[in-house]
Amino acid sequence: MNIIFLDYDGVVNTIMFEQDESDPRYCHPIDNKVNNYQAVKWIEKLCKETSSSIVISSSWRFSSNYKECLYNGGLSRDIEILGKTPRLHGHDRGNEIQKWLDDNTHLGIEQFVIIDDDNDMAHLMDRLIRCDTRLGFDIGEYNEAKKLMGFFSPLKRD
């Protein structure tokens, strides 16, 4: 099994104009969706091409609708969201991801990648694909993630 640890803000939720808003803004869990449809579709493509499931590492994971926010943002319901990383007070996100991995060895994790706009990954920095907070996950990060997971056929930018 392959896993994508996914952050929301700065990855699939970026500052954007909404049709009914005069100023650009981020969506929040109360909006019941992330807002960067293109980034969501790149994540979906990555999941399908690497046979990956998603684990949410975003702070949005503490909202009861954390899965629906991603599906409502455009993710196909064919993509499995396994759950979320635990909260470890006083620890960085990398330690929370490691705890999830340690607690789920029975799943037979083969490859994993962390997609985030921050770098608080402790000893897992070599598994991080870091996004530009302003742009989110796009073709460049998609290609990096595929390579890191051992799938060596990147799409080219035109």
Q: Which residues contact 91 (CB under 8 A, 6 or more apart)?
A: none
Give the number of C-alpha atoms closer than 13 A to the C-alpha of residue 20, restricted to the C-beta side.
Answer: 2
| Total-model pTM | 0.92
Q: Which domains can be identified in the chain, with CATH numbers?
A: 2-148 (3.40.50.1000)
Instruction: Reduce the DSSP state of residue 71 to 3 states and report it.
Output: helix
Q: Which residues of 102-118 are buried (b: 16+ CB within 10 A; e: fewer)?
A: eeeeeeeeebbbbbbbb
Q: What are the phi and psi torsion angles at 40 (to 5°)?
A: -60, -40
Q: Residue 24 is which amino acid?
A: P
Average of per-residue pLDDT values in the chain: 93
pLDDT digits 0-9 by tens, 1-37: 999 999 999 999 998 887 776 788 888 888 889 999 9
- Cβ 131 vs Cβ 115: under 8 Å: yes
Higher pLDDT residue, 81 or 30?
Answer: 81
Structure confidence at residue 120 (pLDDT)? 94
Q: How many of the other CB atoms lie within 10 Å of CB of 51?
A: 12
Residue 95 vs residues 3, 43, 99, 117, 146: alpha-carbon distances, Å: 16, 23, 6, 16, 23
